[in-house]
Amino acid sequence: MNPQTDWLALSRSILDGAAITRAQALAILNAPDDELLTLVDAAFLLRRHHFGRGVGLHVIRNARSGHCSEDCAYCSQSAAAGTPIARYTLQTADQLVEGARVAHQMQAKRYCIVTGGRGPATTDLATMCEAARRIKAEIPIEICTSLGLLTAAQARELHAAGVDRYNHNLETSAQYYAQICTTHTWSDRLATAQVAKAAGMDLCSGGIIGLGESREDRVELAFALREADADSIPVNLFNPRPNTRLANQPPLGAADALRTLVMFRLVHPNREVRVAGGREQCLGPLQVLALYVADSMFTTGYLTTPGQGYEADVAMITGAGFHVAEVENI
């Protein structure tokens, strides 16, 4: 076995402080299916060292759905898409606080409030800040918000209200992004990630795998997130939505998805790596293997699509010898 394909040796070197190179990351994505379990094992070495067997549960709340001015090719919430989804205006602070209470009852570590749209209007921000202040005062749960593009002042306002983390995905490589969206740029997205971090919030930023990007694009995304110092990396596995521009995109294979998750783990050994939207459809019976790589997941579904459900998620976690991560130090 040559050094580049001795996956456990590579993982041990990362544990000892080495950083994976782009060439090594690409080699993971090009590895044959017969090496899949060895790759998962290599990722598990890092996952177990940094996170044990805990799985952080996140509950996502779609606080405003549809009618978005942007034209992201994968998204059913874009006004340009004709997908039949629920469309509604911003939920009230009362509804958002109640959602946090329910998430806490599910042992969720983090409650993620998401609004479709380019960025928050002043009134939206005021509602979010009110909800964040009340959640912080009443419920022991971390708060993440995902409200689109932000200014530095908006980021500071959210942080001052108690928002712990801001989500803004880079989605794919800088080079490929123009194929996906024409109404804003990858640089716009990076700028928001940077202002969120500069305001003192943790940065949650990841992407969607399977949009037609190359393996090199996936590596570029993983390294861009490392440069952006992302604390949490959601890896969505593309689940094509009807009547979007990417409705007919060929599905991502389960082995391909797992290799990509492994690559993200080796690039981000001690950061939260989340197996996110699309895991049920894409991974099928291999879904449980993602737990050996990722240390967190969403439960109760995603923005416009359901998941397999909280009880099935917990049964999968405990059945494989993992456990729901404790909610600590909140």
> Which positions lie near ligand SF4, rule CB under 6 A?
68, 70, 72, 75, 77-78, 116-117, 148
* CA–CA dist 233, 29 (Å, integer): 18
> Judged by CB, which is closer to ligand SF4: 55, or 230?
230
Q: Shortest Cβ distance from residue 312 to ligand SF4 (Å)?
A: 27
Buried b (16+ CB within 10 A) or exposed e, 47-66: beebbebbbbbbbbbbbbbb
Q: Shortest Cβ distance from residue 117 to ligand SF4 (Å)?
A: 6
Q: Shortest Cβ distance from residue 121 to ligand SF4 (Å)?
A: 14
- The length of the chain is 330
> Judged by CB, which is closer to ligand SF4: 78, or 232?
78
Q: Shortest Cβ distance from residue 4 to ligand SF4 (Å)?
A: 36
The tokens 């042992």 sit on which residue?
A: 107
Mutual orientation of helices 254-267 and 36-51 as an angle, nearest 10°?
A: 40
Cα angle, residue 169 at apex, residues 42 and 48 outer, rounded to 5°: 25
* CA–CA dist 114, 131 (Å, integer): 13
Q: Shortest Cβ distance from residue 182 to ligand SF4 (Å)?
A: 11
Q: Shortest Cβ distance from residue 134 to ligand SF4 (Å)?
A: 25
Q: Shortest Cβ distance from residue 148 to ligand SF4 (Å)?
A: 6
> Judged by CB, which is closer to ligand SF4: 72, or 100?
72
Q: Shortest Cβ distance from residue 191 to ligand SF4 (Å)?
A: 15
Structure tokens at 330: 């909140």
Residues 6+ positions from 90 with CB-CB distance below 8 Å: 63, 64, 115, 123, 124, 127
Nearest to 257 by CA among 207, 200, 220: 207
In the chain, where does DSSP find H-type helix? 7-15, 22-29, 36-51, 93-105, 122-138, 152-161, 177-180, 186-198, 215-227, 254-267, 279-283, 310-319
* CA–CA dist 219, 208 (Å, integer): 13
Q: Shortest Cβ distance from residue 116 to ligand SF4 (Å)?
A: 3
DSSP structure class, residue 73: T
> Judged by CB, which is closer to ligand SF4: 41, or 71?
71
Do 296 and 57 meet the contact criterion of CB atoms below 8 Å apart?
A: yes
> Judged by CB, which is closer to ligand SF4: 63, or 139?
63
DSSP structure class, residue 121: -
* CA–CA dist 11, 254 (Å, integer): 22
For residue 66, which phi and psi values (nearest 5 degrees)? Answer: 85, 180
